[in-house]
Amino acid sequence: MDSSYFQKYLTSRGLSDRIQTVWITDQADKSKLSHFMRTMFDVPPDLIIDDASHLYEPTLASFEALFPLMPPGSLYIIEDWGHWRGFIALPEWSGRKPLTQLIIELTESVGSWTNIINDIAIYRGFVAIERGPRIIEDPASFSLKEHIYRRLVDQFVTPILGYQRIINYLKHRLCFLIILRAR
């Protein structure tokens, strides 16, 4: 629940009808999240801050439910995605995919040029994802993985004369550079 200070701030700034918070809901319940979007706002929000589970699966579900409903240029922020020295994960997180995997997938989507995500800014404490211009025909069936294109391992150019020698040379040089930087 919002603190009385936060409520007072919203009221004093005339923001009570423009800023909504949702507490104690299943972050992975896509239909409920979509319902919130349809009923809480007259127009889609320009900013969503996801500061909930800090886990991959429910955060992905929230992103897939809400992001497609946002207008181009809007921001979706995921809080507390990283880990740091001394970070101790909760016991219930054991064996679960880390939220960092979602950040990697979002970055891959930007690089896939699908125009779903226009830009991504990664910071220590949060990630800001800018909604791209592409219209999503069926937001309820949106899947981030469908907007990530990866090069297959066997898509390398057919080896040419001397190709392996060049690769071996580069591997040696890259190792050498890494060794020099490690000191």
Return the DSSP state at 99.
T
Residues 6+ apart with CB under 8 A from 100: 81, 82, 83
Q: Kindly give the pairing relationship between strand 47-50 and strand 75-79.
A: parallel
pLDDT at 182: 43
Question: 121-178 pLDDT, tens per residue?
Answer: 999 889 999 999 999 999 999 999 999 988 776 555 555 555 566 666 666 555 444 4
pLDDT of 38 above 90: no
Render pLDDT for 46-102 as a digit per residue (tens, 0 to 9): 999 998 788 899 999 999 999 999 999 999 999 988 766 666 777 777 778 888 899
The predicted pLDDT at position 179 comes to: 44
> What 8-state DSSP symbol labels residue 8?
H
Given a cut of 80, is residue 13 above it in pLDDT? Answer: yes
Strands (DSSP E) along the chain, which ranges?
A: 47-50, 75-79, 117-122, 126-131
Report yes or no: 67 and 134 within 8 Å, Cβ to Cβ.
no
Q: Residue 103 to residues 10, 106, 161: CA-CA distances in angstroms?
A: 31, 5, 39
pTM of the predicted protein model = 0.76
